[in-house]
Amino acid sequence: MDKFKRNERIAAMTKVLTSAPNRIFTLSHFCEMFGAAKSTVSEDVAILAETLRTFQMGTLETVTGAAGGMRYRPLVQSGEGRALMEKIVAMLKDSSRVLPGGFLYFSDILSDPQLVSGMGHIFAAEYYDAGIDFVLTMETKGIPVALMTAEALHVPLIIARRSSKVYEGSAVNINYVSGKGGIETMSLSRRAVREGSKALIVDDFMRGGGTARGMLSLLEEFNCKCVGMRFVMALENPARRMNENEKSLMVMDEIVDGEPVSIRVSDWVK
């Protein structure tokens, strides 16, 4: 007789797999955990995969080969990503969010765990098979959404700083032209990045593109490839495009002082 019932095995397996996205677990891992035969656990896996599909809760994939097993990916299902972003746009349309100087207050949204987790899953969804080594962001506001993207992809997050810090060790510094036209510095710890690896850039806002260009320069210094750039928000202006694989979840027009902001969800968000 089996030590645990199918119900119990499936509950435990759901917890293990869904809380470690994109990580491969072997069948043997669960056989040992439950003291059950491979055939039994295989059936459990099939039931779980089908259930996740039915309820649109992401996908459970079987990976074949020597390093094979199964892995969970919190794929954002059709309609789910768009629904989240429409909700955020509705929150942003509150006119009290327009600040003097034509700035939009959305720091609260950028550090709400549930919202950034949802946005991170949208970003990650396109990159599960891209062999990304790390997510790169520039301090400060993009850190939460970048962290959640990294968690879903099961890769580290690396944070570029505005200046080199003593506790980061030797660093590569570059200068870049900020949106306001000034020269600013961006710094990345030498030991944080492996030469020649692949990065996904995630940040909160693409205004003039200066910060984004700075991050690209930094990656070049490490001979790293940027496979894509993802932003929570971008100004409506396709001329500023600097990477063929550059997208934002939302697009806004320049704010004219005091006027209501025009913000919309980007078309690619499903």
Is 133 within 8 Å of 155 (Cβ atoms)? yes
Q: Is 189 in the site for a copy of itself (CB under 8 A)?
A: yes
Torsion of CA 193, 199, 204, 207, to 10 degrees: 100
Minimum distance, C-beta of residue 86 to a copy of itself, in the bound complex (Å):
20
Is residue 40 close enough to count as binding a copy of itself by CB under 8 A? Answer: no
Neighbours of 165 (CB within 10 A): 11
Specify the residue, 30 or 176, whose C-beta has the smaller distance to a copy of itself.
30
Nearest distance from C-beta of residue 268 to a copy of itself, angstroms: 25
**Which residues, 205 to 264, sit near a copy of itself by CB under 8 A?**
none
CA neighbor of 25 nearest in space, from 173, 154, 116: 154
Spatial CB neighbours of 98, under 8 Å, sequence gap ≥ 6: 104, 105, 255, 258, 259, 260, 261
Asked if 173 is part of the footprint of a copy of itself (rule: CB under 8 A), the reply reads: no
- Pick between residue 107 and residue 175 the one whose CB is nearest to a copy of itself: 107
With CB under 8 A, what is the number of residues at the site for a copy of itself? 59
Supply φ then ψ for residue 125, to 5 degrees. -50, -35
Q: Which stretch binds a copy of itself (CB under 8 A): 53-61, 123-131, 211-219, 227-235?
A: 53-61
Considering the complex, state which of residue 114 and residue 244 has its C-beta at the smaller distance from a copy of itself.
Answer: 114
Binding site for a copy of itself (CB under 8 A): 4, 6-8, 10-12, 14-16, 18-20, 33, 47-48, 50-52, 54-55, 57-58, 99-101, 103-108, 111-114, 116-117, 139-140, 143-144, 147-148, 150-151, 154, 156-159, 161, 166-169, 189, 191-192
